[in-house]
Every structure is written in C-alpha cells, then in structure tokens.
Amino acid sequence: MTGERGPETAAARRVGVLGMGTHLPPGTRTNEEVARDAGVTAQWIGERTGVLTRHVAGPDEAASDLAAQAVRSAVEAAGIDIADVGFLVCATSTPDELGPSTACRIQALVGAHRAVALDVGAACSGWLFAAKVAYDWLRGADQDGYAVVVGVEAYSKFLDRSDRGTSVLFADGAAAAVLGPVDEPYGFEDFRLGSDGTQAGLVLIPGGGSRLPAAPATLAAGSHHIRMDGRSVSRFIVDVLPRLITEALDRAGLGVKDIARFVCHQPNPVLLRRLGGELGIPADRLVVVGDEVGNIGAASAAYALAAAAARDGLRPGDRVLLTVFGAGMTWGSALLTWSGARALMPVPTAVANSPVPNASERNLP
C-alpha cells in the first residue's frame, strides 16, 4: 500500500482497513483456576458465560506493552513503514497511568515518532469510537495518510478474583488496525455512536480518579477493582444490540442475508449467540471469539474483526456490520466493506519490553 492516489476531495475520500494485528499475553487463567477463587465451578462458568480461558498480562506488563505488539503486527500486515503513520489513537479503560495518554507510551514503544497520539475513553465501545476519530482525521487531511487504531485492556490488574460477576469474564489483550485510503466500494460508512451518562454507575472502576483518589480507605474498600451490576448490564445489552443491528440494516436497505460477518463486542459468548439466533443471524456469520479470550473490552470488536479476516474466510467486497456497547453507557455501529486486508494474529509468546526512546527522539519535525 503506497497511498499514491489521484486528487480527490476530503468528502469523497474513502477510508478502510489496510491491515490488522492482535496480541495476547502468554499467561492464561482457565475456568478451573478462576472458579477456585470465585467460589463457583468451572461448569458454572462455562454454562453461564461460554468463556473457556482468558489471557493475563504479566506483573511487569502494562496496557501499552500489549498494544505495541498489536500495532507492530498491524503495520506489518498493512505493508507500510511505522514512520508513515500520522495518527495513533488508543482506546482503553486500563491506561498505564492517568497521564500521559497510553497512546503516547505506545508511540514511543513502536517508534511512530511523527504520529499525533491520543486516547479515546469509551470502555468496550472504545475501538469503534476511536476508529471514527481516525476516520474523520484521515478524511479531513490535506493528503492521503495512515492512522493506527488500537484497543487494549489489562483488566486483570483491576479484578477482584473473588467477584464471580467480573473475574469470570474480563481478561487482557490488544487488537489494532491500520486505516488508510481504499478504492470504491471498500471502506467504512454509516458510523452511528451514542452515550447515556445516566447509567455510568452500572460498570466502573470507582477509585483512583479525581473523585476518589487513591488512599488507604479506597484500597481497603476495594474501590480500585471493576464493579458491575451484572443484571442491569445484561438488560442493557439485550436492548441495545438488536436495536443497533436492525437500525443499521434498515438505514442501509439491507437484510441479514446481505452481511457476510456480524462483528460485535464480546461480553459473554452465551448471551451473544442467543441474541444472534433471535435475530436470525446464521451461526457461521456471527463472529464469536469471547470463548477463547474472554471480554477484552476495547480490544474485543477489533480482535473479532481480525479473527474474521485471518481465519474465518472474510473476502474482498464482503460487508461487515460492526456493533459495540460498553460502560458509560456507550454504543455504536458501522458498516465496513472489506478490502482484503491481511490480519496477523501471532501465537502468544513472551516478548521482552522494547526500549523507550528519549524525549529528544520523539515527534521529530
């Protein structure tokens, strides 16, 4: 992919996926291990969630370390040089620290010195929200360019292992895409995003921010762990996912039969398969990866899209309907006509941390 194209207006510029990459840390926790801490059985976890295993970052691994590996794979898959990336946006709920942005940490790790780097916070909806930011940035630029959109979570750092409502679901991982110019008919269209802050308390990490700064009392209360009202969140998903899918299809004048793959956020494989069946989506067109990785938050939808491309037969010209939903509460959808991009999903292996360049090497003019 060279990015060399004829002149066109920003409004006419089409933006799609040029390459994808994923990264899972090599450590895992099986249902048997999770069950012992949560006071349930492995069978209980499997029957209620469908999650079979989940990957866990090492004690010295942060979100940026996972994300950097996914970004490197995505850039390799796209066949571009990291120095040509002009925009890097990271979606995460588990940043390395409250500041600077995790995207800046990733930028330093991968050597994307000329990229504008920033974070987007929309919880499990984050990757699609971030993709919309990158999409608009690319379409508004003076010339064709490349953006990297990465979703990453290190949820294991924030789990109460005795809480069966969260420890059985949440896990660690990263997935990234290189976005750039594509020809007609490929690329994204019809982004629709939404939020309802009145439901922000349904799932959150209450401690560590400006409202409840870290203190002995917040540590004693477990306020730095994920807290979730599971029943309310489940009701939210049951309402929002069918609505997102049916409204997106109606706007486009399409039916279920016209979509090659339905790529959703992966909160719970059992619930996802049930809702897909109720909507009449054939099982082989609903991408489900939560059984093998759990809920990896902002990385979930991107990981599922990469899996559809790498091992599920996604072909150039196939229509993909992306749907996401998460804490906030937030939700979104987009249609994507697949361009035939490669997706690299390396087998998890231990990787030594890359050196971080010093400040004089960053953001060179």
Q: Is the N-terminal amide bond of 20 cis, ω within 30° of 0?
A: no
At residue 325's C-alpha, the angle toward residues 207 and 206, to 5°, is: 5
- Amino acid in the structure at residue 331: W
Give yes or no for a contact between 129 and 192, defined as CB atoms under 8 angstroms apart: no
Determine the distance from the C-alpha atom of residue 153 to the mean position of all C-alpha atoms in its chain, rounded to a whole number.
8
Cross-strand bridge partners of residue 153: 173
| Residues labelled catalytic | 124, 265, 295
Q: Distance (Å, rounded) from C-alpha 344 to C-alpha 176? A: 10
Q: What is the DSSP string of 77-143?
A: HHT--GGGEEEEEEE-SS-SSSSS-HHHHHHHHHT-TTSEEEEE--GGGHHHHHHHHHHHHHHHSSS
Does an H or E element contain 75, and which? helix 63-78
DSSP H helices, 253-339, are 269-278, 290-293, 300-311
Q: Report the chain's C-alpha Rg in angstroms.
A: 19
What burial class does residue 217 get, using C-beta atoms within 10 Å of its C-beta: 0-12 exposed, 13-18 middle, 19+ buried?
exposed
Q: Distance (Å, rounded) from C-alpha 158 to C-alpha 222? A: 10
C-alpha count within 13 angstroms, C-beta hemisphere, residue 318: 20
Identify which of 179, 151, 169 has the alpha carbon closest to the alpha carbon of residue 324: 151
Conformational region of residue 39, where left means phi above 0, alpha means psi within -120 to 50, and beta covers everything else: left
Identify which of 310, 307, 352 has the alpha carbon closest to the alpha carbon of residue 68: 352
